[in-house]
Structures are given as structure tokens and as C-alpha cells.
Amino acid sequence: MALMIRRSRLLFLLFFMFLFASREAKTLDPYKVLGVDKNASQREIQKAFHRLSLKYHPDKNKNKGANEKFAEINNAYEILSDEEKKKNYDLYGDEKGNPGFGGGNFGNSGGNFGNGEGYTYFTSGGPGGGGSFTSGPGGWKTMGGQGNTKSFSFSFGGNDGGSGSPFGFDFGDMFNLFGGGMKGGNQQGGFSGGNNFGGFTDSGGTKSGFASSGVVKDINSQFFDKHIKDKGLTWLLLFYTPSARGYHVLESIVEDVANSLQGAVKAGKINCVTEKTLCKDIGVSPSKSANLFIYSFKSGERGTLVEYTGESDARTLKFFVQEHLPRFSKRVDLRQFDFSSSTKENLPQVLLLSTKKDTPVMWRALSGLYHKRFAFYDAEVHHDTSHPMLKRLGVKAFPALVGRLVNGEEHVLKEGISVKDLKSGISELRTLLEDFEKKNKMASSRAKKASKEDSQGNSVSYLTASNMDNVCGDRTAVCIIGIFRSSKVKEKLEATLSEISQKSLVRRHNLGDGSRDSISYCLLDATKHSSFLYSFDKSGYKYLDKLLVAYKPKKRKFAVYTGEVTMEEVEKFVSSVLSGDVRFSNVLQKPVLR
């Protein structure tokens, strides 16, 4: 009994020694700690906290005093990030709004027992390890014991609804603390290492000190299914419980990265306490630390979750995100590229020409968003406009975006593209793509209409830009083109070719089956499309009023008939083409109608 009394007296003595020593502690101004002005916005406060917390984090900074500095930063941010605490501090010098200790005064001392600046760390050692406690800057510290330690942090403002002590804890807490534990067990705050994401929880383990900016969205199961799952957009997803270690630092880093890659990636957080089913369905188990995943389309058609296990800094995370952006755009060599040989699922095709050695970030992001609506390609160029396609389209400035409709028409969507940032660049390219998609739908509709009219009648269709791919595309082995420069010749060619086209031995109606002997017939007005003829001969056949061109689209070869347009002679020419008795020549360039 006497031993217990002596022990109690010793504990009281230590406690009051601590109180008097703390009176000498220097008042810490949270604005000065974070290095911000009193009129600073929440965004400026958050950026300052983020920068300093990374600099002085115990896992990264092993210098003497780093732990104390990190604690100052955390306490300062806890005050300034909470509007109510900030208001109280500005009015009373105490985030709790206690004017009795306003201005941080305790008697005449410079100590601060009224606000969160006067913090203290108590550390209890392992079995037989002794103990220590440390006040804030300007105070005092007592060290002792060896082995693993467990830290607890207190703010002298106390917890609302606490023990009734003006200092936020009662003597029972002190006895339990020195005994190796703390009453309730759930007041643990402090810092702990071994965590990639900052390794700390806020006091009480439940309340976030961050003022939400809206960049990191709260995600529930309905939102996930509607806006994230297999939608083609990359998401950074933070899985947490309110008491998870590293939650705050990681959320701040995620926000910075999402801001820097705005337009290419979005960010969200999922509370695995309130969204248990969603976390379970996704396959993420709640843990003591916050977990960060990226919802990526890098490796396939469907989105997959990839966990981030790198360093807790924005630069490393940003590199990780860029590596996991979609890769649906095919990198091609412009010297060997041809739109018509790259047709995919009858989709409109788009090609980005830039000086980048790798596919640009914004193009990768767009290839995910519009993956099933376009066939994406990109190529590296070095300000060389000598490529036949670039010369044909008249592209002279890079970066440039060109496209091909399903009917074979090629267009320059924009050249000399200049954007001020990633977000505006993606927005501008989205507008170009959606306008081109509308144009493609109109062209496709016209081509279907022309094909339907052709199948219902005996007349030979006129070759146009909208039906070029269907009539004389790569799926046709041979295309017989009747070319005229007068109405009289046109009528004769149309009648002759129409009759020959009905003979089963020389025409297959099913042109889409890829038959090598399939053949199509069409007419072309040379007065309107004279440039088309220059693809076959430098003269453009200007001296001829009529001619027949047998064109093999896939092989880029052709043969010409310039004789009389009689049934017998034309049929003989067509039969010779099919039997291989006619000599074919290479085209000068791919024939294109505009």
C-alpha cells in the first residue's frame, strides 16, 4: 500500500513538472508553421501541408528534429484545414474557441494550453523498456527505455465530451499511459513507419483533417457501375477506412496527380466501411493502411485494377499513371502506312502525326474513351511532308490529325495543333473526333442508300467519294470503271456495262466475300474528277473522250482499254482481265475521290 502511495506521488510530481516545463514552450503560429498568409485559400494551405509533410515525413527524413517538425506541420494543418477551428484560432488563438486560454497564454508564460499548438508526444516502451515524453518546440523532453515504442499524441484543447479535465485528459489516462496502455485504446494517433503512404492517422483515428476540393470524388457502387466500369477512362481509386493509416497524405497526392493529368484521368475514393459490398466485389479488403489502385485499360479491352506500391510522392505516382493509360492507338511507320489496308470493323480511322517518340498522353486517353468508335493510329514525323498521303491531303504543319471515313474519303481534321494544357488539348481533340464521327455516319448512310439502289436496278452506279470503298475498295478484286467526257459517250458506256454486269460469269453480286474473281462496274465523269485519272497516268488521259480502266484496288495495279465501246469489244476486254491475259501496271498513287 505504501509502495502504491509513493508511486502515485511520483506520478503526480512528474505530471506537474511537465505542466510547469510546458509553460516555457513557445507558442506556435499554424500560419507560420505552414508558411502561408492568414488570407491563404484552402488550396494554398493544402499545397503547403503536402509539400512540408513529404519533406519531414519520418519515413523519409531521418534528421534530428524531423519528427517534431512533422508533428508541428500536422497540428497546424489540423487547425487551418477545418473552417471552424481556423475561425476560432483567428478569433481566440485557440481552435476550440476557449477564450479563457485565448492567445495561447497560461499565466504570463509563452506556453499554449488553449490550442493545438501546444502538443506533447508520450511514448511508452516495450516490456521493461521504460518510457519518455516530449513537448513541442521550446519545451523539454525526457527519454528512456529501449525496444519498440508506441506513440500517442494529444492536443491540449482536449476532445469534445472528454473527461472534463481542462487539459483534455484526466489523471486516469496518465496512470494507464505510464502503465503501457491508454484508456479506451482507440485514442491512438501518433506516427508509425513501414507504410508507403505516409503512415499516420489523425487524432482519434476517425475524422479527416482535409477540406475536400471535389477533385477526389466519393464513389459508391452505383457510380462505379455507371461511370467507371469498362467506360474507357482511367481512374485513380483510393480505398480506405476512416481510421486507415496514410489516408490524408495519399488523398492529397492523388488530388495533385489528378489535377496535373486533368482530362486524361479522374480520381475517386471508396470508403470500405460504408461500401463493403463494392469493395468485396472489386476484390479489395479493408486494411489498416489506405490502398491506392489504378483502374487501367493498358493490357486489354476491359478495365483492371492495378495496385500502386511505389513511393508516396506525386512525381512517382504521375509516372505510374501515365504508364497505365490505354494503349489502343497503334503506333505505325508512316512510310509503310496505308489507311485502306488498316480497316478495322468498318470504323472511321484517325491518325495523329506528331514529333513525339511515343504516343502522346492525350491521344492514349482518347483511344480509351473512343475505343469502340474509331480505329486509332499515331506516327512520329520530323516535319517531312513528302509522304504521298501528306502531299495528297496538303498537310504542312504538325502536330496534325487526319482521318478516313468508311466510304474511303480522307480528311485533314486539323494541322498545326497547339494546346495550352492537357485538359484543353483533350477537349479540343474530342470535339474534332465527334464532328468527324457525325460526318462518318452521314457518309455511311449515303453509301448504304446508293448500294441499295444499285442492287434493285440494272443501271451501273456512278463512282463517288461516298461509295468508293464499297465499289472499288480492297474487298473487290477488279473494278471496271467506264470514264466519259460527254453525255453521248456516257449513255453508251452505261448501257454496255449494265448489260455485261448481268452476266453471271463475269460478275459476283456478293462483293464482301473476298472472292478473287469478283468484279464491279461503275461510271466516272472525267470533267468533274480529272484529278482521279492522274493516279494512273501523268497525262490524266486528257486527250481521250472515253476509256475503260480495270483497277485492282488491293494490288494497286491497273489496265486500260481505249478502243470502241461495243458489247463484243468490252466483253472481250473484261474476259481478258479475268483470265490474266491483260498486262497490268502499277498506279502512280492510290486513286482517291474528293
Q: Is the pLDDT of residue 145 over 60?
A: no
Q: What percent of the chain has pLDDT over 90?
A: 38
Domain assignment present for residue 405? The answer is yes
Domain assignment present for residue 93? The answer is yes
Q: Is the pLDDT of residue 86 over 60?
A: yes
Same domain? 503 vs 483: yes
Same domain? 530 vs 382: no
- The pLDDT of residue 267: 96
Same domain? 94 vs 159: yes
Domain assignment present for residue 1? The answer is no
Q: CATH code at 85?
A: 1.10.287.110
Same domain? 508 vs 391: no
Same domain? 170 vs 234: no
DSSP string, 269-290: EEETTT-HHHHHHHT----SB-
Torsion sign over Cα 137, 141, 147, 148: negative
- The pLDDT of residue 203: 31
Out of 138-152, 307-321, 353-367, pick the least confident: 138-152
Residue where one domain finishes, among candidates 275, 305, 323: 323
Same domain? 349 vs 413: yes
Rounded-to-integer distance, Cα 303 and Cα 228, Å = 9
pLDDT confidence tier of residue 107, bands split at 50, 70 and 90: very low
State the average pLDDT over residues 123-132: 37
Same domain? 31 vs 135: yes
Rounded-to-integer distance, Cα 372 and Cα 506, Å = 38
User: Does 399 sit behind a cis peptide bond, omega within 30 degrees of 0 on the bond before it?
Assistant: yes
Which of 154-168, 207-221, 305-319, 434-448 tops mean pLDDT? 305-319
Same domain? 112 vs 157: yes
Same domain? 339 vs 291: no
Beta bridge partners of 121: 134, 153
State the average pLDDT over residues 443-460: 65
pLDDT confidence tier of residue 345, bands split at 50, 70 and 90: low
All three cell numbers of 545, joined, read: 473522250
Q: Tens digit of pLDDT for each residue in 208-266? A: 333 345 689 999 999 999 999 999 999 999 999 988 877 888 888 999 999 999 999 99
Domain assignment present for residue 196? The answer is no
pLDDT confidence tier of residue 484, bands split at 50, 70 and 90: very high
Out of 2-6, 224-228, 334-338, 480-484, pick the least confident: 2-6
Q: How many CB atoms lie within 10 A of CB 127?
A: 7
Q: Tens digit of pLDDT for each residue in 498-554? A: 888 877 544 443 333 444 447 889 999 998 888 899 999 999 999 999 999 999 999
Q: Tens digit of pLDDT for each residue in 329-343? A: 999 998 888 886 665
Same domain? 223 vs 319: yes
- The pLDDT of residue 54: 81
Rounded-to-integer distance, Cα 347 and Cα 342, Å = 10
- The pLDDT of residue 161: 38
The domain in which residue 300 lies consists of 216-323
- The pLDDT of residue 439: 92
- The pLDDT of residue 66: 85
Q: Is the pLDDT of residue 158 over 60?
A: no
- The pLDDT of residue 178: 28
State the average pLDDT over residues 342-362: 87
pLDDT confidence tier of residue 410, bands split at 50, 70 and 90: confident
Residue where one domain finishes, among candidates 323, 344, 372: 323
Q: CATH code at 283?
A: 3.40.30.10
Higher pLDDT, 273 or 388: 273
Out of 180-194, 458-472, 538-552, pick the least confident: 180-194
Is-contact 200 246, C-beta < 8 A?
yes
Rounded-to-integer distance, Cα 33 and Cα 36, Å = 8
Q: Tens digit of pLDDT for each residue in 38-48? A: 888 888 888 88
All three cell numbers of 50, joined, read: 503536402
Q: Is the pLDDT of residue 52 over 70?
A: yes
pLDDT confidence tier of residue 299, bands split at 50, 70 and 90: confident
3-state secondary structure of 348: coil
Q: Is the pLDDT of residue 157 over 70?
A: no
Higher pLDDT, 552 or 453: 552
Domain assignment present for residue 293? The answer is yes
All three cell numbers of 402, joined, read: 487526319
Mean pLDDT over the full length of the chain: 75
Query: In which region does residue 243 sit, left (phi positive, over 0), alpha (psi from -120 to 50) or beta (all else)?
Result: alpha
Domain assignment present for residue 202? The answer is no
Same domain? 48 vs 132: yes
State the average pLDDT over residues 149-175: 34
Grid coordinates 467506264 are at which residue?
Answer: 482
- The pLDDT of residue 77: 87
Say how many domains are in the chain: 4
3-state secondary structure of 382: coil
- The pLDDT of residue 27: 52
Q: Tens digit of pLDDT for each residue in 64-84? A: 888 888 888 888 888 888 888
Residue where one domain finishes, among candidates 323, 351, 374: 323
pLDDT confidence tier of residue 450, bands split at 50, 70 and 90: low
Q: Is the pLDDT of residue 21 over 60?
A: no
Pairing assessment for the beta strands 400-404 and 119-124 based on DSSP bridges: unpaired
Domain assignment present for residue 208? The answer is no
Q: What percent of the chain has pLDDT over 70?
A: 70
3-state secondary structure of 556: coil
pLDDT confidence tier of residue 454, bands split at 50, 70 and 90: low
Beta bridge partners of 122: 133, 152
Domain assignment present for residue 192? The answer is no
- The pLDDT of residue 190: 34
pLDDT confidence tier of residue 150, bands split at 50, 70 and 90: very low
Same domain? 302 vs 409: no
